[in-house]
Structure 1
């Protein structure tokens, strides 16, 4: 009888784990499938060695937000407190989406149809004095590629840049953003050329 209970408990635990993992996968796929697409200009963290192993470390021009763009700065506070930040993006004529404003916590108004709010996170200690910038993490700072694909992507970027400097040129990341502001990377872009697309599942 005790053995039977142990087997039942193990099956229930396994099903709970499978359900949890399944919900994570389905949630991510829903964002990729239904989220509004934005193209973010990438600022490589280390332009001399962008690809490390089987993932790409990324920084964006929206990773640093000018304090003047934060609409609800707390009165009398000189440094940031850890918490969420909403950054409003608008598409520029060059096709990249850039920050137009931001709010600590939540946005005061919904984004108009031609803009998108993306949810990020700010850590403690960033200066909130005029002229300063704060660093925002969006959870999209790493782009994983299948094993062995990283070198091929790097070589393709270098080949496209053969007539220019030997370092990598600017490229973009296509991100899907859902209605709550959560972003998921969809694709690695070089101009209009898709170098790698993230599968739904």
Structure 2
């Protein structure tokens, strides 16, 4: 079982963002899920941060709440405070910024005209064809890259019974660049059709 879990981690590391980082608004979500193929049991569950990920910050709580909402819809239940849950949902997330190719100003000046006869008409000389150039400097665009990873572990023996990762990108000015929106979007895509086809990467728009 440990070897299978290790294989899940290695396979997920190969997932890339594809075209998400070049969007001017918000991109689709790329999702990969892995599981052992057997029907997944349901039971009580609690959400915890990934080991080494630091204390449960406000941002983590946003992602944890989104994951918990989706898992409840998938058939799990939250455990009472005084009881031990049967399963753990271990949540990790990252948010990074990246500058992508410069974007020119859409405003441009065009020079053009036509030459008639000998090229002289009314005291003006026209240039055949046209020339245009943008005004202002090229501006880089900032993209927020968001990633959510979740492992569902059986508490009794620590076995990872399901693991998934979702990634997306959004222009820094887009609504989906906000942590609360990104968390809901990633969690919804990650658990859509749960448990999903193992080992396959899908694009969720």
- TM-score tier by shorter-chain length is under 0.3
Answer 1 or 2: higher relative contact order, Cα 8 Å, separation at least 6: 2
> Whose radius of gyration is greater, 1 or 2?
2
Q: Which has the higher strand share?
A: 2
